[in-house]
Amino acid sequence: MKPDESAEEAQVSHRETGAVSLALGVAAVTMYGSPFLFFLHPWIRTIPLYLAVPLGICAIVFGACVLYRMRGDGGADRRRARAGVALGTVALAVPVALLVWLEWSLQR
């Protein structure tokens, strides 16, 4: 194997893994819209809500691992991994904010 081939394969794997993080983050955030799909059965509308937090955690973990591997690589494109981490964080922040608001409103 030539040294150029291994460097090229490493770049491709970074891009693919960053895309995985982005896809997981987008999926986690869009699952919060499932209760608004009124034409579906109620069970089908609520199941994705249980999957949003685990997908958000996976998006953060995968994105952080990719960013860690890209450290020191000046030509690496970090946008997908950063977007995946940001969307995963949003997917985790929504239930936390909802729980804080619910606790606050029940104590009043």
Q: What is the pLDDT at residue 47?
A: 87
Q: pTM (2 decimals)?
A: 0.78
Tokens of 80: 């997908």
**Would you say residue 12 has pLDDT above 60?**
no
Integer distance in angstroms from the first to the last C-alpha of the chain? Answer: 68
Q: Which residue has the higher pLDDT, 36 or 90?
A: 90
Q: What is the pLDDT at residue 96?
A: 94
Tokens of 28: 């986690």
Residues 16 and 77: their CA atoms lie apart, in Å, by: 11
**Would you say residue 7 has pLDDT above 70?**
no
**Would you say residue 39 has pLDDT above 80?**
yes
